[in-house]
Structure 1
Amino acid sequence: MNEIKNRVLTKLQSELKELNNRQIEKVLQLLDEGNTVPFIARYRKEATGALDEVQIKEIQDVQTRLLNLENRKDEVIASIAAQDKLTLKLQEEILAADKIQIVEDLYLPYKRKRRTKATIARENGLQPLADWLRTYPSQANLDGEAEKYVSKSQEITSSQEALDGALEIIAEEIGDQADFRETARQTTLQKGILVSKLKKGAADDRNVYKEYYENEDKISNIRSHRVLAMNRGEKEDVLSVSIQTDDDGIIAKLIDRTIPEDKQSSPAVEWVERAVIEGYKRFIKPAVEREIRNQLRENAEEQAIAVFGENLTHLLLQTPLKDQTILGFDPAFRSGCKLAVIDHTGKLLAVDIIYPHSKGDASQKAAESKLLEMIEKFKVDTIAIGNGTASRESEQFVAETIQSLDRPVAYVIVNEAGASVYSASEEARREFPDLQVEERSAVSIARRLQDPLAELVKIDPQSLGVGQYQHDVSQKELTQTLDFIIETSVNRVGVNVNTASMALLQHVSGLNKTTAQNFINYRDEQGVFTNRTQFKKVARVGAKTYEQAVGFLRIPNGDTPLDNTGIHPETYKEAQHIMNMADITIDEIGTEEAKSSILYLNPAQVKEETSLGSETMKDVITSLINPGRDMRDEMEGPALRTDVLSIKDIQAGMQLEGVVRNVVDFGAFVDIGVGQDGLVHISKLSHQFVNHPSDLVAVGDIVDVWVEQVDLDRERIQLSMIPL
């Protein structure tokens, strides 16, 4: 096992050249000791050289991949050795392989196979005939040589059968040659074309896959979203997808490498050439095409998952609308619009229902009156309107209604994707047992404006409406990636331990569903936490769990202001020493005077007197200057509106401000306030070449766009971020 670990470490250091060996070794050691990625990134910066969560996770992932590779190598070597067929050269080739596919190619000739035509030929004693053919005798009677095997086996009735059997053996041997498979693989990757066609008799009523009815993409540069689109069309029985490659060129190469140039006159050449063609077409080509289709799918899925993860990160880390009373507005037509008011802490104050879209002036006036009454009674600052059914009409109603107020009240269109999923969940039933599903949805819409992170972690990320083809990718890989994104986002922000839901707490470093619930149980039974030391009294929170979690759990208005910072209790003593050096008390931290006093300190002297590492010292000082800091406050806030636009109001050439709702491989969808997101194609993002839209824009960004084209019939809007 140690030998495998050493091989993995060597390859890991070689693969991650941008990191030094010490950083990699230290990260692996910290992970082996049971530390979480967020904890290592935040509190072990000196040890790792200030690597962030993504870099640490990459080390962890690459190590896992390399361990799997090295373990498979040992399994293959052991299997071949057990057959007494392992040579030193073969062992060296296996150990040098840097991909699992190369290992499997080398193992193929020694792998137990199902009973094939070649197997039967060997059972009938035809292996020597196949070997003789590959000696390329110059003067030989093939039929006469083959006739010898007819008398030896009752199963062989003619020389033709004997030669056919020998051909099967040679074809299988050709198909098993690792270097031949690699030749075919590389040629297909470089010159191959992925072809899609409309299946005969297939139904594609909405022309979803029209672009792929007669389509060819070079494998070497195909875009990942096109691969996923073709795969989905194939799965839905609309498209047929295949690979075209230079078969003749590959066969010619294999023949040249199989038959020596000085043996061309042998009568055996014709048979061996036929065997090469059979070996390629029946064994190598189908296997290589399966591999490449799988590789294209895996690469496309990896890209789609990365895009989804990037979008989710920006969605979760949107700026919260703090210290405001918010009215959640869940639009609907016949069933009425559900209203929910929450205070600045997220506590539910009231729910109600109005029917602004019913026919008749009485219903509309009653709806207007009730909305104004709730706004005035609870001093509502902002209205969060869900962007689902009846959103446009509801926005119009709200915009007109708030004009009569004598104080400013704004509204925001909130992406309500997943709100209905949350509303019917066990979490929602536990939180609001007395509310109807639709009323819970209105609360969720309000809360996701007030604190997007705290609310969105309650919802299955796949229901959040960002990304592309998320239901077509490996759900295991997607879940692992999204879990990491959520965990990283939660721990970067920190969690108020006295108000956090279980859905939020379970993503805190070191905690899980059980310990998160135990925190809530303690809160319910003992009252709010007043200091971090009390965490040790929570059931199943041992020393390691406490160490990993405590720095990410905040207590506003507790016994000490330090408990509302990202300072870990292991450095409280040093933090106090810094305050003493600055001649300030603990209750003064966060004030302008304290900030000035701390910044006036000599960093070199602070480092010497506290023995803190440079990175940790910076983090402690930052927390003392700004306790309770929320990194999201530095980002752009939500786009507040007081008026409304309709898709009929916009015209080509108009300049508008919009909010990026989704980023995909081919562009970005932008909400410009007309109820239908417009697409900024990747070619319209910048005058410069854009490798991927995420290089320029992110979910939640507020951007200036210009209207290029409006299709009212199809409700499609084409936008540009390049001024027209």
Structure 2
Amino acid sequence: MILPEHGTDTQFVEKNEQALLETGDQIQERILKQITKELHISYRQVKTTVNLLDEGNTIPFIARYRKEKTGELNEVALREIQERLIYLRNLEDRKIEVIRLIDEQGKLSDTLKRDIIKSEKLQEVEDIYRPYKQKRKTRATAAKDRGLEPLSIWMMQQLSEGSIETEAGKYVDLEKGIEKAEDAIQGAMDIIAESISDDAKIRTWIRKFTFDQSLIYVEAKDDQVESVYEMYYAYQEPIRKMPPHRILAINRGEREKILKVRLEVPTERIYEYINKKVITGYSIVANILHQAIEDAYKRLIAPSIEREVRSELTRRAEEKAIEIFGENLSSLLLQPPIKGKIVLAVDPAYRTGCKLAVIDETGKMLDIAVTYPTPPENRITEAKAVFKEFINKYRIELIAIGNGTASRESEQFVADLIQELQDKNLQYIIVNEAGASVYSASKLAQEEFPELDVAERSAVSIGRRLQDPLAELVKIDPKSIGVGQYQHDVSQKRLEESLKAIVESAVNHVGVDLNTASPSLLSYVSGVNQTIAKNIVKYREENGKFKKRDELKKVPRLGAKSYEQCVGFMRIRGGVNPLDYTPIHPESYKIVDLLFKELQLEFFQMNSSQFKNILQLHNPEELAIKLDVGIPTMKDIFESLQKPGRDPREDLPAPILRTDVLKLEDIKPGMGLKGTVRNVIDFGAFVDIGIKNDGLVHISELSDKFVKHPLDVVSVGDVVTVWVLKVDEKKGRVSLTMKKPD
């Protein structure tokens, strides 16, 4: 009724099915141009990436082995293209569906179809479709059923002469429940109110205005009892300025029925806007239309828009929380492994005792035991005897202690033991054991260690996490690893999808040893699913170690496409072809042959200093042109040949190993300490400085310069220098700064 820009003329377009056949290429073109505009990436790069994705190529494969085609887009850019592609294709599907549904009602005009087609957001399409959507019983539909729509149309003509009572009196009908003119007027007002509420442009304007101008008011729902939400018991803030963590905290408090939340919107501007849209000037129905406008906003628009705004705030907050979780997870997965050391792993506990596991350099469990050095048993002497036996028997130099229950008591015990055994060159480290209990109770752990109980498996996992964090952590649901904030308050489906992509990226960045990798690790390799991963391990067990990459083609269910996607990320140490131990894809082996002939090199020279010196004397870009090879590919080949089998994690700073424990009472303001970043959240970073609880570096203390987000400065696993600002011994909290004191 108030949608003249869409019109209700009878000139309908041809059947949508036919239209789709004619505009399929146009739809694809529109999507590509939209992504180009949104992401500020060239049209050629977007089109090439979309084609590669449609051909079944994975993101890690495209990023590593199709650089010439994509213009060297990294994984982040490729995943952004993929996400927008999925959204926009779903949007186009919804447009097609909406056009079909409106066409079936006989109400699809050329203008309306054009408006739907040019919409760039799903919300815009839904706003346009709203007036045509089949509704449940409403006051407006009831009024229409009683034949009052003609009266509402007459009222919207906004005549300057005549009598509304006289006109409305024509609709009095006792059988329809219209006893007097006022009843008819009210019914017509309900129809007008709903049509105002359904107007796409009005809803779009009000939604944006609400986002830009409204305040959120938060208060305690009942008596102000002590809780973690106390700071929100009398709280207000413009919603456009709310940080993600605050939105999720308020949502949780509201969900737990501790907080009460409402939006305060400047309604005068909204009424002024709607009035201009609806009321054309003086008329005999002006006052009635003002009432209909107020009813439309208060009863229909405001509750709906507020729900949409809260929902959009939550969506944005969830996306940020998932992004932070992903960044932290990536940093944790890519922590440098500690290789070449036999590790004594300790899973601390009180009543049930500390479980010990000796893990050799390859991750194999050598021995297991339980001791009781912590309360309530405090069997210190007995525990020391067990520890010393393991240390002497297996020549252990490093002890890994899980950071769970009784961790600090166990740490104190180990530190005291190290002081007794100073000739042994012992060190210890606290290992984040989040998710270890999930793994130890899993079917995978039962299959791996059927003879061990849950706690013993957990000890093994703690030791392996230190030796190779990535290989061990991939066995655990990423959500259980616990590096983030509010991960239980976000869309679990979206979180799972995002974290899976993070793990996949980390695994393919590092590469896997084809002859030692577990099914869990292999399943994250590009082009490999769980079934193929199990088949690879089964083939390895039945036929012995892989001697060359080509053997992968013999693995059941691993077809040509899977082979193409995965083979470059598989490594074979000591195989037939030395290139199989590098990230060089077999499709580039011919290029390597050409390069070796050009530089007069031989394969047996690889790893020698002479070989590396010869490579350093040549420019890969010049050789790429000479040999008619893509420059990015040649650069990657050069890097791979100079460091075959290189683990990129080895370039990162090694974790802090300790010999003595630090107590809270030892900490004094101004003291400088080395620490490891354990978690990064919106308002700062938690740093392990060797005491029971991690210290907090607030975002304002991360740098002398302005910090937009802590992740711009620190990442999980970073070794940082901090200074103590404040110690709260009662709460066991330490405030830290990374700003160097004068």
Class of the TM-score when normalised by the shorter of the 2 chains: over 0.9
**Which residue does the alignment assign to 2:676?**
659
Mapping of residues 264-413 of structure 1, within 5 Å: 266-357=283-374, 363-403=379-419, 404-413=421-430
* Aligned mates of 1:610, 1:446 — CA distance in 2: 48
Q: Aligned with 2:659: secondary structure?
A: coil
Specify which of 262, 270, 285 is matched with residue 250 of structure 1.
270
Deviation at 1:294, TM superposition (A): 0.5
Q: 2:407 is matched by which residue type in structure 1?
A: S
**Which residue does the alignment assign to 2:212?**
190
Counterpart contact for 1:125–1:153, Cα < 8 Å: no
Q: Aligned with 2:424: secondary structure?
A: coil
* Aligned mates of 2:377, 2:442 — CA distance in 1: 36
**Which residue does the alignment assign to 2:7?**
none
1:4 aligns with 2:24: no
1:234 aligns with 2:254: yes
Q: Aligned with 2:527: secondary structure?
A: coil
**Which residue does the alignment assign to 1:552?**
569
Superposed CA offset, 1:1-49 (max 9, x none): 43422221222222222x2111111111111111111111111111111
1:16 aligns with 2:32: no
Superposed CA offset, 1:46-88 (max 9, x none): 1111111111111111111111112211221222222222222
Q: 1:655 is matched by which residue type in structure 2?
A: G
Mapping of residues 527-566 of structure 1, within 5 Å: 527-566=544-583
* Aligned mates of 1:247, 1:373 — CA distance in 2: 77
Q: 1:370 is matched by which residue type in structure 2?
A: V
Q: TM-score, normalised by structure 2?
A: 0.94
* Aligned mates of 1:577, 1:147 — CA distance in 2: 95
Q: 1:86 is matched by which residue type in structure 2?
A: L
**Which residue does the alignment assign to 1:103?**
125
* Aligned mates of 2:268, 2:664 — CA distance in 1: 56
Counterpart contact for 1:8–1:66, Cα < 8 Å: yes
Superposed CA offset, 1:153-206 (max 9, x none): 64311111111111111111111111111221121111101111111257x55x
RMSD of Structure 2 on Structure 1 (CA): 1.6
Q: TM-score, normalised by structure 1?
A: 0.96
Number of residue pairs matched by the alignment: 717
* Aligned mates of 1:551, 1:368 — CA distance in 2: 48
**Which residue does the alignment assign to 1:442?**
459
% identical equivalent positions: 49
**Which residue does the alignment assign to 2:692?**
675
Counterpart contact for 2:625–2:631, Cα < 8 Å: no
**Which residue does the alignment assign to 1:477?**
494
Counterpart contact for 2:351–2:376, Cα < 8 Å: no
1:44 aligns with 2:75: no
Specify which of 224, 236, 244 is matched with residue 216 of structure 1.
236
* Aligned mates of 1:604, 1:334 — CA distance in 2: 64
556-565 or 401-410: bigger deviation: 401-410
1:71 aligns with 2:71: no
Mapping of residues 704-715 of structure 1, within 5 Å: 704-715=721-732
**Which residue does the alignment assign to 1:84?**
106
* Aligned mates of 1:181, 1:340 — CA distance in 2: 63
Q: 2:395 is matched by which residue type in structure 1?
A: K
675-684 or 152-161: bigger deviation: 152-161
155-164 or 600-609: bigger deviation: 600-609
1:568/1:147 Cα in 2 relative to 1: closer, same or farther (>3 Å)? same
Counterpart contact for 1:124–1:153, Cα < 8 Å: no
Name structure 2 gaps, 5 residues minimum.
1-23
Mapping of residues 667-706 of structure 1, within 5 Å: 667-706=684-723
Counterpart contact for 1:591–1:625, Cα < 8 Å: no
* Aligned mates of 1:471, 1:359 — CA distance in 2: 34
* Aligned mates of 2:396, 2:594 — CA distance in 1: 44
Specify which of 629, 641, 645 is matched with residue 628 of structure 1.
645
**Which residue does the alignment assign to 2:14?**
none
294-303 or 57-66: bigger deviation: 57-66
Deviation at 1:605, TM superposition (A): 5.4
Q: Aligned with 1:349: secondary structure?
A: strand
Q: Aligned with 2:488: secondary structure?
A: coil
Q: 1:242 is matched by which residue type in structure 2?
A: R
Q: 1:632 is matched by which residue type in structure 2?
A: R
Deviation at 1:137, TM superposition (A): 2.3
Q: 2:387 is matched by which residue type in structure 1?
A: L
303-312 or 122-131: bigger deviation: 122-131
Q: Aligned with 1:706: secondary structure?
A: strand
Deviation at 1:359, TM superposition (A): 6.8
276-285 or 141-150: bigger deviation: 141-150
1:241/1:602 Cα in 2 relative to 1: closer, same or farther (>3 Å)? closer
Specify which of 709, 718, 722 is matched with residue 735 of structure 2.
718
* Aligned mates of 1:64, 1:334 — CA distance in 2: 52
Q: Aligned with 1:471: secondary structure?
A: helix
* Aligned mates of 1:638, 1:274 — CA distance in 2: 69
Counterpart contact for 1:4–1:71, Cα < 8 Å: no
Q: 1:67 is matched by which residue type in structure 2?
A: R
* Aligned mates of 2:633, 2:575 — CA distance in 1: 24
**Which residue does the alignment assign to 1:199?**
221
**Which residue does the alignment assign to 1:487?**
504
